[in-house]
């Protein structure tokens, strides 16, 4: 152990611990701006500077390791003055539009300026760079006038997602974040995952806000506006209203959506159960009939787009199943529309997703089962929170209400789609029953090896005499490792699940913002995922093929999984895309 003092308080820590981490053990939170643990550890912003006895100059706490006998001071006049000076310099080239900025009130840079008493009168006068707003991408907007050059977005894009489509350009005062050859985001191989937005500490990056489109649809008397919410949304939405991380707010969310004015409030878990029916059938068919293996899941649109750009040779391995969002929309505008006697053209399907890539997915080709888009508008969890606040609803005081039937009914298997490994486990529950011809209780199926937030997991199961080697990965850098191993013959699997976002949908690019001060010390992914697994365990029906609404749909309309009608409505196609 290393023994040191921080603000004259003794502490013992493991070798390799940074000053930032050691101070945290004493309840001392040293401010940071550019730092993201294990992702962006570059000590660039110098907001975390501290004073160390006998050291020459101030040191960056986020990257400087402790040593024996060190004496650290985190709040001396010299330290506080340096932090203020750095903030003033950053603010001097920042477009101060806080009132109209979507990050106002949850901006890490704004909070630091408030904490250190920085106002306009302290800001240096001088030149500012002018940038055009880049709104070329389907899912997001980039405004470099609000960028503080922390490079967190760059690190996430490169290390988490293996895309690296953004980086620093030019030098000195002209340095800015952009794409190669100053291309717009819409022109490069961005996969729309939104992890850069989640990493940004300011309003420089934001999703394209579609709430005005939803308000317009709700005001149109000729339209029937339906809403569906993904399972991960209920595990994250409460954070926008001050509730503890991982609080399941399903009931209050449903109540809020009804009060906003949606005609019906449905659960994307229905679509997830439907996905499992088709995906499990497809897997069994491929195994028994010599199809392309491993079959790889297609629920994550960020992953699908990554595959199309970076690993097009694996397109035949992708399941042809649409995502739960799109399957839901397809059924809403066919089966449900027929049952209710509504013209599909008069139905507006709104989805609330933890994912910005869903904004891209709704515009993909071959996603229009009824001759109109399966889903019309995709919102993020953050956009839903914005609508709830604009409606004047006291979210935390709302009663718990239930989803509407039949498209609001789902099994526990669909609920866990929001966590990495959830799709795999759900599919295995159904495939096991189909291959064995039995009804094994979900609680007696041991699929624990596919759970957890590790980047890559693998397991082997024997189901109905068939040996299934499976792999699960989240984060596209991990997908690259896994696919490369498969391509090189170093790994052999029958079924692979890939989620674009590390930890799965619970950590999607559209979830409520979590400041670095929390991310660096709390496993956000595990806490949110726990809410979904707890709901799954509490449900009476935990297998997709036992969902009575799914059974009704197949009996009345689709016939059977993999039928011609099911294939027409619920399956899709992919296309190789340029990388450069």
pLDDT for the residue 122 = 66
pLDDT for the residue 507 = 97
Same domain, 259 and 330: yes
Question: Who's near 413: CB < 8 A, 6+ residues apart?
Answer: 272, 273, 276, 425, 426, 429, 430, 442, 536, 542, 543, 544
Answer whether residue 203 is part of any domain.
yes
Same domain, 309 and 232: yes
Same domain, 421 and 536: yes
Last residue of a domain, one of 179, 207, 235: 207
Angle at 233 between CA 305 and CA 109, to 5 degrees: 85
Answer whether residue 536 is part of any domain.
yes
181-191 b/e (C-beta count within 10 Å ≥ 16 → b): eeeebebbbbb
Same domain, 181 and 38: no
Same domain, 529 and 552: yes
The residue written with tokens 């949110």 in the block is 528
Same domain, 349 and 238: yes
Phi and psi at residue 194, in whole multiples of 5°?
80, 5
SS3 state at 543: coil
Answer whether residue 578 is part of any domain.
no
Locate 391 and state its tokens: 């409606």
Q: What is the CA radius of gyration of the chain?
A: 25
Same domain, 178 and 290: no
pLDDT tens sequence for the chain (580 residues) = 999 999 999 999 999 999 999 999 999 999 999 999 999 999 999 999 999 999 999 999 999 999 999 999 999 999 999 999 999 999 999 988 898 999 999 999 999 999 999 987 767 888 889 999 999 999 999 999 999 999 999 999 999 999 999 999 999 999 999 999 999 999 999 999 999 999 999 999 999 999 999 999 999 999 999 999 999 999 999 999 999 999 999 999 999 999 999 999 999 999 999 999 999 999 999 999 999 999 999 999 999 999 999 999 999 999 999 999 999 999 999 999 999 999 999 999 999 999 999 999 999 999 999 999 999 999 999 999 999 999 999 999 999 999 999 998 999 999 999 999 999 999 999 988 888 888 888 878 778 889 988 999 999 998 878 889 999 999 999 999 999 999 999 999 999 999 999 999 999 999 999 999 999 999 999 999 999 999 999 999 999 999 999 999 999 999 999 999 999 999 999 999 998 7
Last residue of a domain, one of 75, 100, 132: 75
As a whole number of angstroms, the distance between CA 121 and CA 118 comes to 8
Same domain, 226 and 200: no
pLDDT for the residue 543 = 94
Answer whether residue 104 is part of any domain.
no
Answer whether residue 94 is part of any domain.
no
Last residue of a domain, one of 41, 57, 75: 75
Same domain, 323 and 276: yes
pTM of the model: 0.95
Domain of 225, CATH number, reads 3.40.50.1780
Angle at 339 between CA 279 and CA 564, to 5 degrees: 35
Answer whether residue 98 is part of any domain.
no
SS3 state at 229: strand
Answer whether residue 118 is part of any domain.
no
Answer whether residue 86 is part of any domain.
no
332-348 b/e (C-beta count within 10 Å ≥ 16 → b): bbbbbbeeeebebeebb
**In what side-by-side order are the strands of the sheet with 224-229?**
264-267, 224-229, 347-353, 377-380
Same domain, 234 and 296: yes
Domain of 62, CATH number, reads 3.10.20.740
* Domain hosting residue 344, numbered range: 212-570
Same domain, 364 and 455: yes
Domain of 188, CATH number, reads 3.30.70.20
pLDDT for the residue 81 = 96
Please count the structural domains in the chain: 3
Same domain, 228 and 276: yes
């Amino acid at each position: 152990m290393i023994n040191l003092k921080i603000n004259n308080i003794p502490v013992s820590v493991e070798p390799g611990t940074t000053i930032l981490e050691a101070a945290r053990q004493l309840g001392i939170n040293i401010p940071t701006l550019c730092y993201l643990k294990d992702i962006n550890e570059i000590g660039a912003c110098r907001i975390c500077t501290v004073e160390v006895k006998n050291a020459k100059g101030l040191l960056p706490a986020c990257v400087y390791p402790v040593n024996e006998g060190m004496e650290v001071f985190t709040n001396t006049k010299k330290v506080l003055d340096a932090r203020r000076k750095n903030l003033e310099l950053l603010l001097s080239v920042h477009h101060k539009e806080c009132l109209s900025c979507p990050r106002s009130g949850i901006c890490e840079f704004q909070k630091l300026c408030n904490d250190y008493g920085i106002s306009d009168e302290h800001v240096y006068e001088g030149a500012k760079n002018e940038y055009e707003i880049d709104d070329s991408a389907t899912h997001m907007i980039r405004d470099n006038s609000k960028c503080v050059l922390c490079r967190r977005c760059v690190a996430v894009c490169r290390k988490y997602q293996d895309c690296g489509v953004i980086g620093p350009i030019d030098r000195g005062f002209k340095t800015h974040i952009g794409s190669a050859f100053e291309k717009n985001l819409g022109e490069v191989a961005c996969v729309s995952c939104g992890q850069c937005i989640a990493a940004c500490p300011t309003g420089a990056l934001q999703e394209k806000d579609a709430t005005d489109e939803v308000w317009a649809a709700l005001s149109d008397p000729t339209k029937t506006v339906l809403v569906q919410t993904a399972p991960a949304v209920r595990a994250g939405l409460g954070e926008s209203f001050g509730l503890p991380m991982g609080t399941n707010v399903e009931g209050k969310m449903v109540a809020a959506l009804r009060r906003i004015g949606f005609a019906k409030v449905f659960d994307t878990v229905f679509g997830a159960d439907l996905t499992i029916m088709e995906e499990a059938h497809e897997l069994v068919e491929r195994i028994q009939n010599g199809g392309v293996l491993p079959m790889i899941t297609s629920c994550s649109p960020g992953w699908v787009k990554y595959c199309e750009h970076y690993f097009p040779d694996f397109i035949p391995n992708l399941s042809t199943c649409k995502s739960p969002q799109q399957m839901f929309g397809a059924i809403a505008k066919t089966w449900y529309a027929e049952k209710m006697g509504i013209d599909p053209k008069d139905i507006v399907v709104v989805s609330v997703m933890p994912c910005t890539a869903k904004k891209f997915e709704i515009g993909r080709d071959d996603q229009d089962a009824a001759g109109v888009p399966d889903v019309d508008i995709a919102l993020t969890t953050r956009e839903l929170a914005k609508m709830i606040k604009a409606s004047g609803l006291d979210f935390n005081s709302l009663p718990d209400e239930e989803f509407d039937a039949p498209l609001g009914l789902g099994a526990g298997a669909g609920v866990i789609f929001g966590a990495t490994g959830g799709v795999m486990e759900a599919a295995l529950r159904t495939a096991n029953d189909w291959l064995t011809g039995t009804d094994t209780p979900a609680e007696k199926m041991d699929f624990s090896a596919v759970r957890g937030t590790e980047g890559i997991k693998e397991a082997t199961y024997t189901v109905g005499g068939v040996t299934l080697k499976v792999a699960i990965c989240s984060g596209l850098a991990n997908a690259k490792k896994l696919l490369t191993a498969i391509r090189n013959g170093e790994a052999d699997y029958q079924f692979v699940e890939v989620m674009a976002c590390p930890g799965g949908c619970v950590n999607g690019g559209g979830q409520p913002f979590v400041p670095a001060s929390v991310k660096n010390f709390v496993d956000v992914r595990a806490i949110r995922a726990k809410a979904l697994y707890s709901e799954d365990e509490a449900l009476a029906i935990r297998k997709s093929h036992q969902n009575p609404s799914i059974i009704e749909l197949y009996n009345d309309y689709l016939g059977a999984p993999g039928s011609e009608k099911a294939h027409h409505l619920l399956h899709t196609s992919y296309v190789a895309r340029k990388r450069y």
